[in-house]
Amino acid sequence: MASLLPHHAAPVVWSTRRLRAVGWSKRAIARAAEDGMLIRVRRGRYLAADTDPRIVEAARVGGRLDCISLLEMSGVFVLHRDGLHLQQDPLASRRPPAARGVRYHWRPTRATPTTPVVDIVEALAQAVRCQAPRAAVATLDSAWHLGLVDESGIAEVFQRLPRRFQVLQRLLDPRSETGTETLVRLILKSLGCHVELQVRIAGVGRVDLVVNGWLIVECDSKQFHGAWHSHKNDRRRDLAALERGFATVRLLAEDVLFHPDRVRAALERIVAHGAPGPNS
C-alpha cells in the first residue's frame, strides 16, 4: 500500500487527512501501519516504510533532520559524528526534551511543515557552526564536489553565517575528492606550501596533490586501496613518479583524521628536505 503514495523526491510526512485525500480509507491506513508499510511517527502522521531511520527519529519529535546528520546521510564528508542533529522551530510548543545523543538546533527554516529534512544549504550553514574550521571546510568541499551545491549555493551558505566565518570561503576547492584531501591540503597551506590538486602527470596518471612542484601526496583509504592489485599499481606509479623527479608520500586516512598533528609534523620535515636531486 505504501507504494501507492504519490512520488516525492524528498521524504514527506503524510497526515491522515492528506492520505484520505489521495484515496486511502481509514481502514487502509490502519492496516498499512500495522503491517509496517507505513511508519506512524506521531498521532495522525506517517512516513513511507523505506524512510531512513534518522528521518523517522526526527519526525517522531516534530523536527527535521539537520546539520551533519543530514549531510552524512547524503554522502557528504563529516569529520565527527556526535549524535543526531535536528532542526526545531523556535516557536514550536510541546516539543519533547532532546533525548540523549540528540542535538536540537532551534532556528526558523524554509522547509515546509510536511518535510522532515532541511535543505542542503541550511544544513551546510549549521554544520559550519557545529564543526571546527578545518572540518567545516572539508564538509563544504565535499558537498560542492558531489554537486549537492554549486558556487551560488556556497555563496548562500555564507550569507546565512556571521561575518567571522567568511574567511573560510577563500579556503574552499571543490576539486578535493575526499575530506582527507581537503584536510591535508589545509595542513600544507598552513606550512606555506604551494599545493596543486588532481594533477595529471605523464606516465604516472592523476595524483591527489602536488606540493611545491616535486612532492606527490596521496591520501589512501581502505575503500580504494585495500586489494593487492591496488597496492601493486600504487608502487608502479610511485616508481614512475620517482623516475620523473617526484617523491611520493602516501598518507593513511586514519592518520589524517585522528592524528593530524603527527601528520603535520611529518609533512613539515619532509618539505624541509626539499626536492630530490641527483645526489639525494
Helix, coil or strand: residue 104: strand
| Same domain flag for 232 and 138 | no
| Same domain flag for 70 and 166 | yes
CATH number at residue 221: 3.40.960.10
Domain assignment present for residue 280? The answer is no
| Same domain flag for 190 and 260 | yes
Using alpha carbons, select from 152, 126, 55 the residue that is nearest to residue 139: 126
Please give the pLDDT value at position 233.
Answer: 85
Is the overall model pTM greater than 0.75, yes or no? yes
Residue 28 class from Cβ within 10 Å (0-12 exposed, 13-18 middle, 19+ buried)?
A: middle
| Same domain flag for 35 and 60 | no
| Same domain flag for 22 and 83 | no
Q: What is the pLDDT of residues 107-121, one digit of tens each?
A: 999 999 899 999 999
pLDDT band at 98, cuts 50/70/90? confident
Query: Does residue 131 surpass a pLDDT of 50?
Result: yes
Cα gap 245→260, rounded to integer Å: 27
Please give the pLDDT value at position 2.
Answer: 45
| Same domain flag for 244 and 228 | yes
pLDDT band at 97, cuts 50/70/90? confident
| Same domain flag for 113 and 191 | no
Q: What is the mean pLDDT of the chain?
A: 91
pLDDT band at 1, cuts 50/70/90? very low
Spatial CB neighbours of 165, under 8 Å, sequence gap ≥ 6: 128, 129, 158
Domain assignment present for residue 261? The answer is yes
Please give the pLDDT value at position 21.
Answer: 92
Query: Does residue 175 surpass a pLDDT of 60?
Result: yes
Q: Which grid coordinates belong to 193?
A: 606550501
Pair 223, 233: CB distance under 8 Å: no
Query: Does residue 228 surpass a pLDDT of 60?
Result: no
Q: Mark which of 123, 157, 172 sits at the end of a domain.
A: 172
**Which residue range forms the structural domain that includes residue 182?**
175-275
Q: What is the pLDDT of residues 15-29, one digit of tens each?
A: 999 999 989 999 999
| Same domain flag for 5 and 107 | no
Please give the pLDDT value at position 274.
Answer: 85
Count of domains observed in the chain: 3
